[in-house]
Amino acid sequence: MSESPEDPGSVRPAQASAAAEDREHALHARELDAADPLAAIRDRFTLDDTVYLDGNSLGALPRAVPDRLAEVVAREWGELRIRSWSESGWWAAPERIGDRIAPLVGAAPGRIVVGDSTSVNVFKAVVGGVRMAGKGCTEILVDATTFPTDGYIARSAARMTGLAVRPVEPARIADEVTERTALALVNHVDYRTGRLNDLPGITAALHSAGALAVWDLCHSAGALPVGLDAHGVDLAVGCTYKYLNGGPGSPAYLYVRESLQERFDSPLPGWNSHAEPFAMDPGYAPAEGIVRGRVGTPDILSLLALEAALDAWDGVSIEAVRTKSLALTDYFLDCVNAYAPPGRVRSVTPYDHSRRGSQVSLESARAGEVMTELIRRGVVGDFREPDVLRFGFTPLYTSFAEAERAAWVLGEVLRALPEEEPEAAGTAG
């Protein structure tokens, strides 16, 4: 997913007109920050005075990562070399790091393996799920609002397995699933609107019809409780460079429900998932457990950077993160209502907490130009065609003061738009 580049000549928020100390909402923001139980976690990240609200595209750099990578390069690779596969624990990293991610998505140890890209893991999950589906299945349901790659992969998997793909709005899946459905691939949080889909309800409806549930967690893992084990999810995938802050292109992960692992038949059987990988047997025999989700040699530098990044989560509960996420997004919406000119912006993110992820998406005329100007002024979000401004809130490091400043600068930018410009219907409220 593309990120909006920062302009090195940005005007920082501190330079904005109407000093923050004179604004009522800014005073309230300072009070909220002073009472925030997660406020100290911000110091675990490398940040500046930019208001960074694009953590739903690329998370900020955790302070622990540079030193850890330097150690890996200089000692583990530079000195130990091949010995690091055993002596430094490289070989076990995909499962070890999977166990670090597991509590953040509600999974027990031994159910997540880290490696490969999100797209590759979606392919494994969909084809593997079809292979486990009952006889007579003829279709795969795909979230009609999905991130495009998921749809591309699903259609390719369908061609390979002889099934058809049927796009369905997430809210309609419970009504549309039939005995002919092998599985449904659904985004937990809609990447464009920030809408949170009903993972427990959709999963239960799929199971009632004999179908499997495959969830894409890219915009929910690290932002809100997921409950994979508790809700009986069959397979799930997710990236680690958003709310998990693993770095650009950091490896994704695959979850397979424990009761399905013995039946999981990966469409990409690599030597790393072989029961005896160093036997170099020309015949493939899958390893036991989640290891069969591996493919080839792991990307060690990215894996170990991710492992260090996860140290930022030490002592943090996902429930506390969710509480702050909702408070931040509520506060931002309140500030937008206070500062934005009437009729210039409209929220497409649900106000209902049970249907909201950790981002706020606003429709606005000339949204691309608006975001460019926001970035120039030191407020970094991103833009989605044709008219959506996206603001991602990462509770580990986003403050209420930043939410208020972003809304204020947005109001200034919107007020500067020519009066004759077409206006988005309604307001943020």
pLDDT at residue 419, rounded to an integer: 74
- Annotated active-site residue 242? The verdict is yes
State both tokens at 22: 């004179």
pLDDT at residue 1, rounded to an integer: 38
Pick the catalytic residue from 111, 242, 294, 405: 242
Q: What is the mean pLDDT of residues 191-214?
A: 98
Q: What does the pLDDT look like over 102-125, one tens digit per residue?
A: 999 999 999 999 999 999 999 999
pLDDT band at 14 (very low <50, low <70, confident <90, very high): very low
Pick the catalytic residue from 44, 111, 390, 405: 390
Q: What is the mean pLDDT of residues 199-214?
A: 98
Cis peptide bond N-terminal to 66, omega within 30? no
Pick the catalytic residue from 143, 216, 382, 387: 216
- Annotated active-site residue 383? The verdict is no
Strand order in the sheet with 112-114: 112-114, 253-256, 235-238, 212-216, 181-187, 139-143, 164-168
- Annotated active-site residue 390? The verdict is yes
State both tokens at 157: 């998997």
pLDDT at residue 341, rounded to an integer: 95
pLDDT at residue 135, rounded to an integer: 86
Domain 91-297 has CATH 3.40.640.10: yes
pLDDT at residue 420, rounded to an integer: 52
Neighbours of 352 (CB within 10 A): 9
15 or 305, higher pLDDT? 305
CA distances from 213 to 82, 165, 223, 233, 397 (A): 40, 15, 21, 6, 32
pLDDT averaged over the chain? 93
Are 134 and 312 in contact by the 8 Å Cβ rule? The answer is no
Q: What is the mean pLDDT of residues 6-18?
A: 38
Residue 5, pLDDT above cutoff 50: no
- Annotated active-site residue 191? The verdict is no
Pick the catalytic residue from 45, 147, 243, 339: 147
Smallest CA-to-CA distance from 110 within 318, 293, 274 is with 293
pLDDT at residue 3, rounded to an integer: 38
Residue 12, pLDDT above cutoff 70: no
Residue 9, pLDDT above cutoff 50: no
Pick the catalytic residue from 241, 255, 331, 393: 241
Distance, CA of 385 to CA of 87 (rounded, Å):
49
Domain boundaries, the chain: 13-62+316-415, 91-297
* Strand residues in 133-245 grouped as ranges (E): 139-143, 164-168, 181-187, 212-216, 235-238
Residue 139, pLDDT above cutoff 60: yes
State both tokens at 140: 């795969």
Q: Residue 73 carries which DSSP code?
A: I
Are 139 and 164 in contact by the 8 Å Cβ rule? The answer is yes
Coil, strand or helix: which one is 145? coil
State both tokens at 139: 């279709």
CATH tag, 13-62+316-415: 3.90.1150.10
Residue 55, pLDDT above cutoff 90: yes
pLDDT at residue 23, rounded to an integer: 85
- Annotated active-site residue 255? The verdict is no
Q: What is the mean pLDDT of residues 276-283?
A: 96
Neighbours of 12 (CB within 10 A): 14
Q: What is the mean pLDDT of residues 220-247?
A: 98
Residue 297, pLDDT above cutoff 50: yes
Q: Minimum mean pLDDT among 14-28, 97-111, 272-286: which range?
A: 14-28
Give the containing element (helix H, strand E) for 97.
helix 93-101
